[in-house]
Chains A and B, each alone.
Chain A
């Protein structure tokens, strides 16, 4: 017995438009979650390097709490745990306006924010302390030093690991199907429902994820070169 492939199912019926819809939802949820994760990560990562006890403590709590609980649990938390805390009218409005999407977006963003934070912290800590001292000695406040000197340098340093994190975020968006978000993986299952062709549908999904990630990686490496500070970082010019 061998499996008879029938790739035509991907091009017949509504399969194509489902995959496209799924792709758009995946991109939307990932992009929003990525922005949230980046903002949270920059703040939490910076706070963890500051000589200010309470801020450092708060940021550490956030990071350890959110990164050490599985993403799936966070999905259920934001979808089932948070709404009951809101007033009834807000709940009803949310449920009628895509609560699944927003719960999934927050779960993904807040979870990956905690992971981004560690990447950013590592970037900040790899900057020699003389940079910080030099900045402060020119009269900048700590906030200004972070905003104008430390974070711009750190963000350039962490591009490779942050790319890793971003690709993980994109792929982890598929976990949102557990709370009913109709993203890419969800749509591949939909195709399976209509055609009973699971392997073809999964392969199509896999190739789309692969292409998406390769495109993002290529884009980032261009950005990396574009924003590199000459003389600052050892750079191999292989290509």
Chain B
């Protein structure tokens, strides 16, 4: 009986929290507090990470601060502060729905399943899954992963695809990048699969970048979007306007160059195809 009561009490508390949070829209919240709270990462260079000077920076954060916030500030008519919170793959949707953050700006792939719980902005980055291996490894793509020990990130779409398409691969899933890379360095696994851009970032940060290669064709399509609470089209529209204006004015490409250009944190040239895709998402004013 006691246990039943306990469970009931917890349920009531949870429901209560939900009820009290219902009151205001995201825009009203931002207007009242003068702050937008974003959920982002501390270890996902160059999208969002803590750099050598201990500053929390990155491509996604720049897009929020330089493209989206100005549009929001103009709409509300006062300046807006950006507050950052750490959000992991398994916490980011609950963080949004519990009102702890207003916008997820990291490396979140827009998927249909996720769209049932949250809304997404337009796509602001395109990548696909590949493999990071030691130079000279026989693994050169998803087919060669059969029967091999493959590391993946927990909660990622890549792990799911490997499991479905190459069931004979021995998949080891790690909650974060550093542990997976360590396992690759020591030989616990023979390849690490993740979005190509993340692997490029990892390789660039490795003690000896030349020892590692990113291989294989994209075996998945990973369009990154910024996630928001569902059914708030006015807020979502402003976020999209921020991104579209930045793409149209060229500011997006300046920010891209800063992080992914030749002198950037992770050199990753923008293909003509992707550039065209980004531009075609911009609807006329």
Contacts and interface: CB of A to CB of B under 8 A. Distances in A.
Interface of A: 1-3, 76, 79-80, 83-84, 91-92, 95-96, 99-100, 177-180, 182, 186, 189-190, 192-199, 207, 210, 214
Contacts, number: 91
Interface in B90-144: 90-91, 93-94, 97-99, 111, 113-114, 116-118
B22 to A, nearest CB: 5
Contacts of B173: 180, 182, 186
Contact of A80 (B21, B90, B159, B183): B183
Given A1-B230, A196-B114, A99 B170 contact: no
Contacts of B111: 196
A194 B113 contact: yes
A89 to B, nearest CB: 12
B90 A2 contact: no
Contacts of B160: 193-194
Nearest to B229: A1
A197 B114 CA distance: 8
A1 B99 contact: yes
A192 B188 contact: no
Interface in B68-92: 89-91
A99 B230 CA distance: 42
A99 B188 contact: yes
Contact of A96 (B3, B170, B186): B170
B67 to A, nearest CB: 24
Interface residues of B, number: 45
B19 A2 contact: yes
B91 A198 contact: yes
Contacts of A79: 183, 188
Nearest to B174: A180
Contacts of B37: none
Contacts of B179: 76, 178-180
A53 to B, nearest CB: 39
B117 A95 contact: no
A79 B189 CA distance: 12
Contacts of A76: 179
Contacts of B149: 95-96
Residue from A1, A195, A199 with most neighbouring chain B CB atoms (10 Å): A1
A179 B111 CA distance: 27
A137 B256 CA distance: 84
Q: Closest 6 A-B residue pairs measured CB to CB?
A: A180-B172, A196-B114, A3-B97, A2-B18, A196-B113, A196-B117
B13 to A, nearest CB: 13
Given A100-B172, A180-B154, 9 more contacts: A1-B97, A79-B183, A95-B187, A179-B179, A192-B90, A192-B93, A193-B157, A196-B117, A198-B94
Given A91-B187, A193-B155, A193-B160, A179 B174 contact: yes
B215 to A, nearest CB: 21
Given A96-B149, A100-B172, A186 B154 contact: yes
A138 to B, nearest CB: 47
Contacts of A92: 187
A182 B159 CA distance: 13
A177 B21 contact: no
Interface in B159-177: 159-160, 170, 172-175
Contacts of A186: 154, 173
A196 B156 CA distance: 11
B233 interface: no
A2 B183 contact: no
Contacts of A196: 93, 111, 113-114, 116-118
A94 B271 CA distance: 42
Nearest to B115: A196
Contacts of A95: 149, 187-189
B188 A83 contact: yes
Contacts of A214: 3
Given A1-B99, A96-B149, A195 B174 contact: no
Contacts of B114: 196
A195 B151 CA distance: 22
Contacts of A192: 89-90, 93, 155
A186 B154 CA distance: 8
A1 B231 contact: yes
A193 B156 contact: yes
Contacts of B117: 196-197
B182 interface: yes
B232 interface: yes
A172 to B, nearest CB: 16
B20 to A, nearest CB: 10
